[in-house]
């Protein structure tokens, strides 16, 4: 049975990830006013530290945030096309990558490179799924070859991946600090 501390950490983890998603949903790459979108990193961290049972809740949260952002915050609905449904496999790819990386969640120095590699591969898969589906199913690119579409979008891959990895690294740093605080409290007790 989980300890009260473990239940509290789980609740705080879920709440923190939900708040991070909420406050970063307005810009893919950020701006002087808005933080870059952390959704993909959130799904990776859900897979890494929580479990698949949280996937539907966070997927619904992401859709609800998008709905609210478009309906009430004036965010463009340009991306809401039949391709929008492919955000589910995009998010699933990140959650899967996080779940697969659980073997590295001790966060030892030796774990960091494989963890970063898995996170990067998940980010690349997410980019491929979301952008490929947007090309094929959005209805915006009927006269554009896939090669031309790739040429126009490939320059977005680096900032897309950089923000994903930044947020994952920040999340891992927070987890490391919490673990050290907890270990110090146990030693004192």
Q: What is the pLDDT of residues 113-163, one digit of tens each?
A: 999 999 999 999 999 999 999 999 998 898 889 899 889 888 889 988 999
Mean pLDDT of 163-182: 92
Mean pLDDT of 174-187: 85
Domain boundaries, the chain: 4-188
What is the value of pTM for the model shown? 0.89
CA dist list (Å): 108 to 39, 103, 176: 25, 11, 10
Q: What is the pLDDT of residues 20-73, one digit of tens each?
A: 999 887 654 444 445 678 999 999 999 999 989 999 999 999 999 989 888 887
State the pLDDT at residue 30: 43
Say if residue 169 is exposed, middle or buried (CB neighbours under 10 Å; 0-12, 13-18, 19+): middle
Q: What are the backbone dihedrals phi and psi of residue 33, each rounded to the nearest 5 degrees, phi first?
A: -110, -35
- Write down the mean pLDDT value for the chain: 87
pLDDT over threshold 60, residue 171: yes
pLDDT over threshold 80, residue 9: no
Q: What is the pLDDT of residues 110-120, one digit of tens each?
A: 999 999 999 99
State the pLDDT at residue 33: 43
pLDDT over threshold 90, residue 179: no
């Amino acid at each position: 049975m989980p300890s009260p501390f473990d239940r509290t950490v789980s609740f705080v983890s879920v709440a923190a990830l939900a708040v991070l998603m909420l406050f970063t949903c307005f810009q893919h790459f950020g701006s002087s006013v808005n933080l870059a979108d952390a959704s993909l990193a959130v799904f990776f961290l859900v897979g890494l530290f929580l479990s698949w049972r949280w996937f539907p809740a966070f997927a619904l949260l992401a859709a609800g945030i998008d709905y609210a952002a478009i309906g009430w915050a004036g965010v463009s609905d340009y991306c809401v096309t039949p391709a929008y449904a492919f955000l589910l496999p995009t998010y699933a790819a990140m959650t899967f990558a996080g779940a697969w990386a659980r073997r590295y969640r001790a966060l030892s120095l030796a774990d960091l490179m494989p963890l970063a590699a898995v996170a990067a591969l998940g980010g690349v898969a997410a980019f491929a799924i979301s952008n490929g589906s947007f090309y094929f199913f959005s209805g915006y690119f009927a006269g554009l070859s896939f090669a031309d579409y790739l040429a126009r979008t490939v320059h977005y891959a680096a900032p897309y991946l950089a923000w994903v990895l930044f947020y994952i690294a920040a999340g891992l740093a927070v987890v490391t600090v919490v673990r050290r605080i907890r270990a110090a409290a146990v030693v004192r007790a």
